[in-house]
Amino acid sequence: MSESKPPTPTPGDTYKGWLFKWTNYIKGYQRRWFVLSNGLLSYYRTQAEMGHTCRGTINLATANIAVEDSCNFVISNGGAQTYHLKASSEVERQRWITALELAKAKAIHMQAESDDSGDDCPPVPPTTAQSGGCRNSEIQSTLRTLNSKVEDLATCNDLIVKHGSALQRSLSELEGIRAGADTGEKIRQVTERATLFRITSNAMINACRDFLSLAQTHSKRWQKALQTEREQRIRLEETLEQLAKQHNHLERAFRGATVLPPSFSNPALGSKGGVSGKGDASDEDDDNEFFDAMEDPAEFITVPADPKYHRRSGSNVSGLSSETGMDDQSVNFDELSLASNPESPQPLELEPVKQRRTRIPDKPNYYLNLWSIMKNCIGKELSKIPMPVNFNEPLSMLQRLSEDLEYYELLDKAAKCQSSLEQMCYVAAFTVSSYSTTVHRTGKPFNPLLGETFELDRLRECGYRSLCEQVSHHPPAAAHHAISEKGWTLRQEITLASKFRGKYLSIMPLGSIQCIFDKSKNHYSWKKVTTTVHNIIVGKLWIDQSGEIDVVNHKTGDRCHLKFAPYSYFSRDIPRKVTGVVTDKDGKAHYVLSGTWDEKMEFSRVMQSSKGENGTEGKQRTVYQTLKAKEIWRKNPLPEGAENMYYFSSLALTLNESEDGVAPTDSRRRPDQRLMEEGRWDEANAEKQRLEEKQRTVRREREREAVKTASSPEEADAQETGTEASEVSDETNTDDSPPQTPVASPYGPSHIPYLMDGKEGPHGTVKSTHQDNYQALWFEKTDDPVSGESLHVYKGGYWEAKEKGSWDMCPDIF
């Protein structure tokens, strides 16, 4: 290191220097410029980047600092960020460790003070003439006390310098004299002066302690006073904003009452008059705020709209329609209707009929010995090797599919929309929201048994109820049907294909999702993106979503193209970024969506579009002029202690809660899953193996029945041969048994929770020769006339059977 640094930096100083940071196995350690300031450690590629590009920052208040060897050390904040660093020498490493520890201690101390600052001090009373005078006198008194303490510190400092110099002279004289009669006298002088130095030092320490205590006490009070003033200012701003909105609404109502009635007498001017009122009102409501430009996606960029679109008179709005190429419907649409309108009637809050649980037993910290698992596999058939529940979470795939309804409010709002383009924004946000639970959920859900079901009845609480059923075993497929009193129906059938590529596992959904709205008869369909599970062999598992989704309205031809950007170390974009454009049947853009699939989504209305400059790949990008962005969806926070409960969301915690009246095939009644949730993993493994063996037996019996009903002896012989050959294939592809890629089998993404057992292996796709006459109990295979896709659709009867309590038709699968 060329920079000279003090050996022991103080915690308040900014500490800078070069360190080597581990990047990847290809590039190894790379030289980076690190800056330590205010409890934050940031790094840059060069010193010149400090002004504009920070490559990463870690908060030391929650970080762990560990020394590996003479030059290497590691900084981690619990798994989200980990820096493997190397200094040029051991001395340099010790300097950084000292600076980091001091900065961490100070950051923790400041964080603790900010949390409870002023709790023991009363707030400053409201400002009056008397209270203001008292406050000033109090401040002046405190300042005088602090000045006196500073003077005491200066006096102690002078005494320390004086006695220290005298002690140094005595020590020098003691070293210079020879042993004799004067030695005892000199030693006595040194002892006296050392005693004076010690007394003075103690006085200095006490004065410093008093000063620090006094400063901390008044600092808390002043911080509390400052916080009170800030809160009062915020409340005042909110009050002014509410008054301004009320004024605008009254003004809009007055204009509508005075301008609209005369327009009805002239049909040619009627539509223009209506637009005029809307245009002026929206001008005021938006407060002239414009949408900031986003990071440039690959296909398009957005820029703030021209102020002329906000400050238009009523006579010019029709000109705006022809100028921008927008139809009257899109111009007439009030952009405030997409956001929550305080004046619009809100639905009544439904009282929950049952108090749902908010916790499950904490995940046991069982040590998993892979060698012991492999040892127990020696000499056994592949079909007899169960995958232990250590890799699972106590939910089934059917329950994970039901988690897509966590943000059902988006579909409730979409059902109320008058515009199909507005409705498309909510449907697209709902599509993105289904991925929000996949960030930390790396556990593999239980693969459902054939015929297993799961109901989610939230009719009285949330206005919807859903049913899932495992409708096929080769290939594994699950059907889902949800219906709401708010006027929407959601149905999906998910089938998966997976490919193991050494370091990561790619899972491609092969199913379709459809949403139908009763009032508008709009019929939407879309497919899911590819999910990638990284670090399958070595390292911490993490999940990424990448690909493109086309949400199509088959009735109107509207389309929303969503792009999930894959994670890249070299990208400057925020991770997990999602962008989208809503277009009509003619390809004209009306809305732009942006955000992340794990946090929130925003939308902004497009006022004008044009072709911009060529991008990095030579493609001409489209430039959209947009209004200010508004938030349309935000992820719910995880419950407290979620890291000990498999990172379950509030809805996921209730999915496996025992309920009366459910079908005997419901996932809540699955014994191995229940035992795992209770922490009895050894018993869960034994029960899981029993269920798998039982399903194999039932499968073979069903195939033999299919052989007996063959139409000719030749077909019977052929099918018998195929059945015998397929028993081994069936046994190797049982639920939760190891698939053709054993290493990848324990893991799957959150909303696509199981691998295609037997569908894809290291030697290609495994084709099944099963002759199976199994028919789903509550779903039937049909061709959708609108989308033209073939999928399992709910045929009815389940909820009626539940009401009667008659489950005689259900098989005994558990």
Q: What is the pLDDT of residues 256-271, one digit of tens each?
A: 654 433 333 343 334 4
Whole-number Å distance between alpha carbons of 608 and 612: 12
Cα 302 from Cα 579, distance rounded (Å)? 11
Q: Which of 727, 705, 726 is nearest to 716 (CA)?
A: 705
Confidence of residue 398 (pLDDT cuts 50, 70, 90): very high
Residue 201: count of CB within 10 angstroms of its CB: 15
Cβ 670 vs Cβ 811: under 8 Å: no
Please tell me the distance from the alpha carbon of residue 370 to that of residue 682, in angstroms, as a whole number.
Answer: 15
pTM of the model: 0.57
SS3 call for 34: strand
The end-to-end CA distance of the chain, in Å, is 67
Burial class (CB in 10 A: 0-12, 13-18, 19+), 135: middle
Burial of residue 704 (number of CB atoms within 10 Å: 0-12, 13-18, 19+)? middle
**DSSP calls for 258-287:** HHHHHHTT-HHHHHHHHHHHHHHHHHHHTT
Count Cβ neighbours within 10 Å for each residue of 608-638 and write b for 16 or more, e otherwise. bbeeeeeeeeeeebbbbbbbbbbebbebeeb
In the predicted model, is pLDDT for residue 28 greater than 60?
A: yes
High-pLDDT (> 90) share of the chain, %: 28
Q: In what order do the strands lie in the sheet with 56-59?
A: 56-59, 40-44, 28-37, 15-24, 82-86, 72-76, 64-67
Best CA proximity match to 253, nearest among 213, 280, 215:
280
Tokens of 608: 């004008």
**What sections of 325-387 are H helices per DSSP?**
328-332, 370-377
Cβ contact 587:599 at 8 Å: no
Per-residue pLDDT tens for 767-804? Answer: 444 456 788 999 999 988 888 888 899 999 999 999 99
CA distance 510 to 501: 19
State residue 153's pLDDT score. Answer: 77
Q: How far apart are CA 280 and CA 283, in angstroms?
A: 5
Three-state SS string over 371-382 comes to HHHHHHHCCCCH
740 vs 162, residue with greater confidence: 162
Pairwise CA distance, residues 87 & 660, whole Å: 63
Instruction: Find out whether the peptide bond into 475 is cis, omega within 30 degrees of 0.
Output: yes
98 and 8 in contact (C-beta within 8 Å)?
yes
Lowest mean pLDDT of 43-52, 115-124, 163-172, name the range: 115-124
Higher-confidence residue of 181 and 226: namely 226
Tell me what pLDDT residue 603 has.
93
Residues whose CB is less than 8 angstroms from the CB of residue 377 and which lie 6 or more positions away in sequence, other chains included: 385
Q: How far apart are CA 276 and CA 312, in angstroms?
A: 9
Lowest mean pLDDT among 373-377, 512-516, 694-698, 703-707: 373-377
How many CA atoms does the CB half-sphere of 683 hold within 13 Å? 10
Structure tokens at 106: 């100070």
Per-residue pLDDT of 198-254, as tens digits, reads 787 877 787 787 777 777 777 777 777 788 888 888 888 888 888 887 787 787 777
**Has residue 567 got a pLDDT over 60?**
yes
SS (H, E, C) 221-253: HHHHHHHHHHHHHHHHHHHHHHHHHHHHHHHHH
* Dihedral sign of CA atoms 104, 108, 110, 111 in order: positive
For 583, phi then psi, to 5°, come to -125, 155
Record the tokens describing residue 314, joined without a space. 């009523």
Lowest-confidence range among 41-55, 222-236, 372-386, 626-640? 372-386
Return the structure tokens found at 776.
């789903």
Coil, strand or helix at 17: strand
Exposed (0-12), middle (13-18) or buried (19+): which is 499, by Cβ within 10 Å? middle
User: Using CA atoms, how far apart are residues 685 and 708, in angstroms rounded to an integer?
Assistant: 35
Most confident of 41-55, 89-103, 257-271, 443-457: 443-457
pLDDT at res. 269: 37
Q: Is residue 179 pLDDT above 60, yes or no? A: no
Q: What digits encode the pLDDT tens for the residues 709-754?
A: 765 555 555 554 554 444 444 444 444 443 333 333 333 333 333 3
Q: In Å, what is the CA distance from 478 to each residue of 81, 511, 622, 663?
A: 37, 9, 40, 17
